[in-house]
Chains A and B, each alone.
Chain A
Amino acid sequence: MPRVHLMSDHRRFTDGEAVVESEGATVGAVIADLEQRYPGLGEALTHGASAGVNGEIHAEPQYLEVDTDTDIYFVAPLTGG
């Protein structure tokens, strides 16, 4: 199952767990699964995070495909100058 790495504040939804496993073939599906298991977490990830997948950070990752070995790192949105 994809492994989801959470920012510190998001761990309040998971009883402090920093890494949780989830199910889904896309990042969006993973978020939906997390919302089912940890109410509120999916909403927080949808509106307040970018996702780092396979070494790349994606601002709108919901349709990004993942597989069972994928690590997803949710981070605060990034910007630049």
Chain B
Amino acid sequence: MTVAADPPAYKWVGTRPIRHDGYEKVIGKARFAADLDLPGQLHAAYLRSPHGHARIVSIDTTTAAGMPGVKAVVTGADFPDLDPTDPNFDVSVNVMARGTVLYNGHALAAVAATTRAEAAAAAAAIQVEYELLPVVLTLDESMADGAPLVNEHNVTKFVESDGPSNLATVNVLERGDVDAAFATADLVVEREFDTAHVHQGYIEPHACVVDVGPNGKADVWASSQGHFMVRSLTAATLGWEPSRIKVTPAEIGGGFGGKTTIYLEPVAARLSEMSGRPVKLVMTREEVLRATGPAPASKSRVKIAASDDGDLTAIECWFGYSVGCTNDFAGLVGAMSVASYKFPNLKLEAVGVLTNTPKTAAYRAPSAPQAAFAIESVIDELAQALDMDPIGLRLRNAVAEGDPTAMGMPHPRIGFIECLEALRDSDHYRSPVPDGAARGVGTGFWFNIGEQSSATVNLNEDGTATVITGSPDIGGSRASMALMAAEELGIDVYRITPMVADTESVGFTDVTEGSRATFSTGMAVVNACRDLIEELRARAATILGVEQDAVTWVDGAAVADGQDPLPLSAIAARAKSTGGPLTVTASLNAAGAGPSFAVHCCDLTVDEETGQVAILRYTAVQDAGTAIHPSYVEGQLQGGTVQGIGWALNEEYVFDDDGSLENASFLDYRIPVASDLPMIDTIIVEVPNPAHPYGVRGVGETGIVPPLATIANAVARATSTRMTSLPMSPPKILAALDTP
């Protein structure tokens, strides 16, 4: 279902064609990184730390190097030591430990051999002498007075710092006078919350194949959210110039933010360079869970003041994120969650704290779900205390265009109020709550980002077009690019072939993060198509014998007064005689990514004997600006929701005292499956982003923000017990119900 006030009349944008890459994926022909095999290829395996924190006294690879099938062995000594101030330092250290292992599972050596079994056996034969160091696993341990240093290279960002610290980042935002506002408030609710580390749970493990040729150039095939990112980070880790590396993007089997960095490629490259053979490196599921980025665990305190008539007058909050063993976490983003309401008085502190746990990575809207869980839970409690409808309270305080964001800058045109109204008016919200069930609502915000993108459009001699971009197709972006190109050029969407090209065949394109692909790369496609139309008008003018200004472009044809329309295919057929091939390229550094809001509603039951939550009905409302391909917008909303449900109810990293992950499989780390859930209903709100030619706002991240609080709010209403610790697993719910 789509809600748009006054939808423009597009021919292709907003339709639902079968995706261009669907055939290959359905028949199994699409090639993911692990599907590629090269002649003479070796297989690699890691040695990973069995300790949560230890100094590497010595590594002896002699035995391993002489074992059957072994062709190359690497350790940290085979990689350059970057300066700790280098922006790629943390990635480099995480790829291969240097001197110290920082978490249980940290890679400290790798072996390439004829078979994977031989590589694994040799890796296990590497002899390491460790000096054990204190292991710091939780945020409280890390922040305690006299706490051992997690990472001797860490210096706190964004504040004055005088040496190594366990604090990664500190961000403070303030406006107004919170103390005065709380002192005079009619009602104040204050709560503390915590959440666990959770993983992005992509189905495809990290994988790559790297072939370093005799000329020293590396061909890399990898699954990622951005192959130019893979090129730059791999080059930095190896100490190479990026131009030594060509990265070809494999299909990606899920990323959700977790594939915005690298783990494998420099290791495979060095092994290939040393052995003179291609090297394939594929993580097991256990490795994915032990050694790739989970989302941070968190603790938070939130205090909100309100007047008796429901005006939110002040918020004071502290968010702490356990960011793992290194410091490349942008801690301010959690602060964005307070952007949804017009708090005249605000004080917010967000800190990142290091722990001897895996280096964390983005997970859709990084750090926002944890913050929204806390804030939206307190908002719900205020609504209950004030006896107000929870949507009504939010509508009364919701931000609109011109209202300040958390950092003070005014919001551009946004659709939060429209989303709240869409849920309020929905069949779900207007229906009675089922007997025995309870209903919760929650909201979420994500700012979205633009960054650099490139696109090339080649018009073929038969009048078809090839649209080439550098953004991996993570959520249906090929189809979206084709739809925007079809709309611009005025030809059938199936006469357009969208493709994702390697790093030597298309202009630089930033990693897909911040829900940017359809926004930014789509804008590059639109710009390229508009340049192509200018060229087509010029060619048509030549053919028709008129001035270019006399030619307009209408529905896929050049039109001049007194002449028959000249279709695109006719101009393409005469390319040679009118000036040569019709090829255009556009690149940009996009600004104006439109913020996105979401509002969710859930009906659920709680079994008070087992503590199990059963979700009966769920509706996700989100502002997409304009939905280029509504099916894939709905898919993003549904996917984010389901991942948020898992975060709320089941998922958590369980470490032992030495930081060993005790549930490193999908049997023990339980993500929701289809039989756990009802169909996730969606309502797409369309408040066009004025900064995009079709009004696009990114949709990939916001959907994971509301579910944590949405479910907690429903559980609170079902049980009269406010759950403040995630996941709300059956044992935790039973314990909470048993607490007087």
* A residues lining the B interface (CB < 8 Å): 5, 7-9, 12, 18, 48, 52, 55-59, 71, 73, 75-81
Determine if B171 is an interface residue (Cβ-Cβ < 8 Å): yes
Decide: A79 near B172, CB < 8 A? Known: A9-B160, A56-B691: no
Asked if A80 contacts B160 (CB within 8 A), the reply is: no
B447 / chain A contacts, CB cutoff of 8 Å? 57, 78
5 pairs of residues in contact across A and B, judged by CB atoms under 8 Å: A8-B173, A9-B160, A56-B450, A57-B591, A79-B449
Chain B residues lying within 8 Å of A5, measured Cβ to Cβ, are: 407-409
Interface pair B332/A80, CB less than 8 Å apart: no
A80 touches B448 (CB 8 A): yes
B residues less than 8 Å from A7 (CB atoms) = 158, 171-173, 407
Q: Which B residues touch A80, using CB under 8 A?
A: 257, 333, 362, 365-366, 446, 448-449, 513-516, 701
Q: How far is the CA of A73 from the CA of B404 in the complex (A)?
A: 11
Q: Which residue of A lies closest to B169 (CB)?
A: A76
Instruction: Name the B residues within 8 Å of A59 (CB-CB).
Output: 451
Q: Which residues of A contact B592 (CB under 8 A)?
A: 55-56
| B-side contacts of A57, CB under 8 Å | 409, 447, 449, 591
Report if B574 contacts A (CB, 8 A): no
Chain A residue, CB-CB nearest to B449: A80
The proximity string for B residues 436-452 relative to A, scoring 1 for CB distances below 8 Å and 0 otherwise, is 00000000001111110
Residues of B within 8 A of A56 (CB): 412, 450, 591-593, 691
Q: Which of A48, A57, A76 has the most CB of B within 10 A?
A: A76
Nearest residue (CB) in B for A71 is: B409
Task: Determine how close the nearest CB of chain A comes to the CB of B653; give it in whole angstroms.
Answer: 18
Contact between B332 and A76, CB atoms less than 8 A apart: yes
In the complex, the 6 A-B pairs of residues with the closest C-beta atoms, listed nearest first: A81-B257, A80-B514, A81-B362, A8-B172, A76-B332, A52-B409
When chains A and B are docked, how far (Å) is the Cα of A75 from the Cα of B330? 11
Shortest Cβ distance from B402 into A: residue: A55
Check: B605 CB closer than 8 A to any chain A CB: no
CB <8 Å contact, B364 and A9: no
Enumerate chain B residues within 8 angstroms of A9, measured Cβ to Cβ: 158-160, 170-172
Q: Mark B412-452, 1 if CB is under 8 A from A, else 0.
A: 10000000000000000000000000000000001111110
Known pairs A56-B591, A80-B516 / 12 extra A-B pairs, C-beta < 8 Å: A7-B171, A48-B157, A55-B592, A58-B591, A71-B409, A73-B407, A75-B407, A78-B330, A80-B362, A80-B701, A81-B366, A81-B514
In the assembled complex, the Cα of A79 lies from the Cα of B409 at a distance in Å of 18
- Report whether A73 and B333 are in contact in the complex, using a CB–CB cutoff of 8 Å: no
Contacts of A77 in B (CB 8 A): 330, 332
Complex alpha-carbon distance, A58 and B362, angstroms: 20
Instruction: Say yes or no: A73 contacts B691, CB within 8 Å.
Output: no
Within 8 A of A (CB), among B691-717: 691, 700-701
Question: In the bound complex, what is the Cα–Cα distance between A81 and B301 (angstroms)?
Answer: 25
Contacts of A75 in B (CB 8 A): 332, 407, 409
State the Cβ distance, B604 to closest chain A Cβ, in Å.
Answer: 27
List chain B positions with a Cβ less than 8 A from chain A: 157-160, 169-174, 256-258, 260, 330-333, 361-366, 407-412, 446-451, 513-516, 591-593, 691, 700-701
- A58–B514 Cα distance when bound, in Å, is 13
Distance in angstroms between the alpha carbons of A47 and B624 in the assembled complex? 33
Q: Which A residues touch B691, using CB under 8 A?
A: 56
Contact partner of B410 (CB less than 8 A), chosen from A8, A55, A79, A81, is A55
A5–B256 Cα gap in the complex (Å)? 33
Query: What are the residues of chain B within 8 A of A76 when measuring CB–CB?
Result: 158, 169, 171, 330-332
* Interfacial chain B residues near A8, Cβ < 8 Å: 172-174
Question: Which of A18, A71, A73, A78 contacts B449 (CB under 8 A)?
Answer: A78
List chain A residues, Cβ under 8 A from B446.
Answer: 80
CA distance A23 to B170 in the complex (A): 29
Cα of A59 to Cα of B510 in the assembled complex, Å: 13
Evaluate contact between B513 and A79: CB separation under 8 angstroms. Answer: yes
Nearest-CB distance from B635 to chain A (Å)? 16
Chain A hits for B407, CB < 8 A? 5, 7, 52, 73, 75
Q: In this complex, what residue of A is CB-closest to B704? A: A81
Instruction: Name the contact of A81 in the complex, choosing from B331, B364, B411, B591 (C-beta under 8 A).
Output: B364
Q: Which residues of A contact B170 (CB under 8 A)?
A: 9
- What's the Cα separation between A54 and B158 when bound, in Å? 23
**Interchain nearest-CB distance for A10 vs B (Å):** 9
Query: Is there contact, CB below 8 Å, between B513 and A55?
Result: no
Residues in chain A near residue B365, CB distance under 8 A: 80-81
Closest residue of B by beta carbon distance from A81: B257
Contacts of B257 in A (CB 8 A): 80-81
Inter-subunit contact B333/A78 (CB<8 Å):
yes
Look across to chain B and name the residue whose beta carbon is closest to the beta carbon of A12.
B160
Q: How far is the CA of A78 from the CA of B331 in the complex (A)?
A: 8
Closest to B413 in A: A55
Q: Please, how many angstroms separate the alpha-carbon atoms of A48 and B362 in the complex?
A: 19
A73 touches B514 (CB 8 A): no
Minimum C-beta distance from B705 to chain A (A)? 11
A81 touches B160 (CB 8 A): no
Bound complex: CA A25 to CA B518 (Å): 32
Tell me the complex Cα distance, A15–B255, Å: 45
Asked whether, in the complex, the Cβ of B363 is within 8 Å of the Cβ of A81, the reply is yes
Q: What residues on B are CB-neighbors of A73 within 8 Å?
A: 407-409
Of listed B174, B330, B363, residue having the most chain A CB within 10 A = B330
Cα-based distance from A73 to B362 in the complex (angstroms):
24
A79, B366: Cβ atoms closer than 8 Å = yes
On whether A55 and B160 interact (CB within 8 A), knowing A79-B514, A81-B362, the answer reads no
Residues of A within 8 A of B593 (CB): 56
Q: In the bound complex, what is the Cα–Cα distance between A23 and B601 (angstroms)?
A: 49
- Chain A residues whose CB sits within 8 angstroms of the CB of B364 once the complex forms: 81
Residue of B nearest to A59 (CB): B451
Of all chain A residues, the one with the shortest Cβ separation from B255 is A81
A58 to B157, CA, bound (A): 19
What residues of chain B lie closer than 8 Å to A58, measured between beta carbons? 591
Which chain B residue shows the least CB distance to A40? B160
Query: How far does the Cβ of A27 sit from chain B's closest Cβ, in whole Å?
Result: 13
Q: Which residues of chain A come closer than 8 Å to B366, judged between CB atoms? A: 79-81
Which A residues are CB-close (under 8 A) to B174?
8, 18
Docked Cα-Cα span, A80 to B332, in Å, equals: 11
Report the Cα distance A79→B333, complex, angstroms.
8
**Of all chain B residues, which has the CB nearest A51?**
B409
Q: How far is the CB of A13 from chain B (nearest CB, A)?
A: 10
Beta-carbon nearest neighbor of B172 in chain A: A8
Query: Chain A nearest CB: distance from B104 CB in Å?
Result: 25
- CB nearest neighbor in A for B590: A56
CB proximity of A62 to chain B, nearest CB, Å? 13
Which residue of chain A has its CB nearest to the CB of B407? A75
In the bound assembly, the distance between CA atoms of A7 and B450 in angstroms comes to: 22
For B701, list chain A residues within 8 Å (CB). Answer: 80-81
